[in-house]
Amino acid sequence: MFANLTSQIYRQAVKAKVFKKSSRLMMSETNNLPKVLVTRPDVASIGIELLKKEFDVTTWSLPSPMPREEFLKSVVGKNGIFCTLTDKIDAELLDMAGPELKVVATISVGYDHIDISECKKRNIRIGYTPDVLTDATAELTMALLLATNRRLFEANKEVFNGGWSSWSPSWMCGPGLKGSVIGIFGYGRIGQEVAKRCVPFKPKKIVYFNRSEKPKEASEVGASFVNFNDLLKTSDVIIVCCALTPETKEIFNYEAFQRMKPNCIFINTSRGGLVDQKSLYQALKEKRIWGAGLDVTTPEPLPLDDPLLTLKNCLILPHIGSADINTRIEMSKITATNIIKALKNQEMISEIK
């Protein structure tokens, strides 16, 4: 009640221009067009150009995330928000935006940063970008897997630090994929594409765990459905390709790492929140598992003093799964189009129902 009142007063103050507009916002001419806020300037100009043809667009001018205070101020009176996965869309922000807000579109397939039920309560439509980034993310997953099991980053460092003294039979060896059991956690679009890309590496078996069985899709690569426990116990490689939900939060906990094989390679390109990172650190440190490749962590960015960064058997990338140039251009176009369609009461390209 109090929070609601505060946001009402705050919204009125912003509308009455009591707060100065930030110099870090790029605004188009004030007019009667619907108002859209874009939270990053570098979302591929095509998306912003599409929006500018139809709307009054305000864009955050720095390539770093909008500070929360700024976001709360800028969202007042907007009809649409073009956001990224680093922008938390919760009740506080939606209250601040007010009843004019009709659509939130995120340039991502994951939407764990958006409070879906709060949006639904307010009849705010939600757009996202599945499908278009599936191949790019599957590709990056394979790159991370190969870099982790064959120790590419570790080996590359040795070239620069003088550690490369001669060719050596046992130096920089790692487990290959041929003959291995590859376990995929989450057999949706990305999990299935990862499975297809694993086949040419001649694994012994591909197994998967998913909320429901996917016999048709699995038969394309000869993958078999297993329960979570069997996935943990039998896989030489575990690849996490599953959305973060209350059910999957920290599902890879101490217990789970204890059940994995000692030669297991753990790969995560979905969300850091699926992993209890302290337990992962412990498992890697004690060599309970062989290694990990992470494109996602908690938090992001990972602080420079995080213990995971001290481990040689942990390869960390800065959340670049979909960072393929054409993919990001398409994602920008789709996000903008989702907003345009929603504000015209039309069917969006991809909407979370």
144 lies in the binding site for ligand GLV (CB under 6 A) = no
Residue 345 half-sphere exposure, CB side, CA atoms within 13 Å? 0
According to CB under 6 A, which residues from 41 to 100 bind ligand GLV? 85
Is residue 148 involved in binding ligand GLV (CB under 6 A)?
no
Marked catalytic residue, from 40, 151, 319, 328:
319
321 binds ligand GLV (CB under 6 A): yes
Shortest reach from residue 348's CB to ligand GLV, in Å? 17
Choose, by CB under 6 A, the member of 38, 109, 147, 195 that binds ligand GLV.
Answer: 109
d(CA 287, CA 81): 45
Query: Which residues, including other chains, have CB under 8 Å from residue 240's CB and lie 6 or more apart?
Result: 185, 186, 252, 266, 267, 268, 269, 270, 274, 275
Question: Of 85 and 114, which has the nearer Cβ to ligand GLV?
Answer: 85
Nearer residue to ligand GLV within complex by CB, 217 or 330 = 330
Binding footprint of ligand GLV, residue count (CB under 6 A): 7
State the minimum distance, in angstroms, from the CB of residue 268 to ligand GLV: 11
Q: Rule CB under 6 A: is residue 133 a binding residue for ligand GLV?
A: yes
Q: Is 113 labeled as catalytic in the residue annotation?
A: no
Cβ–Cβ < 8 Å for 79, 102: yes
Q: Indicate the residue among 108 and 192 with the shorter CB distance to ligand GLV.
A: 108
Question: In Å, how far from its chain's centre is CA 210?
Answer: 19
Long-range interactions of 101-106: CB distance < 8 A, separation 24+: 101/75, 102/342, 102/343, 103/79, 103/127, 103/338, 103/339, 103/342, 103/343, 103/348, 104/80, 105/80, 105/81, 105/335, 105/336, 105/338, 105/339, 105/342, 105/348, 106/335
Binding to ligand GLV (CB under 6 A): which residues in 223-282?
none
Segment 4 to 23, residues that bind ligand GLV, using CB under 6 A: none
Annotate each residue in 169-188 with x if it binds ligand GLV (CB under 6 A) or - if it does not, as one string.
Answer: --------------------
Residue 165, class by beta-carbon neighbours within 10 Å (0-12 exposed, 13-18 middle, 19+ buried)? exposed
Q: Is 110 in the site for ligand GLV (CB under 6 A)?
A: yes
Question: Among all residues, which ones are annotated catalytic?
Answer: 319
Residues that bind ligand GLV (CB under 6 A): 85, 108-110, 133, 321-322
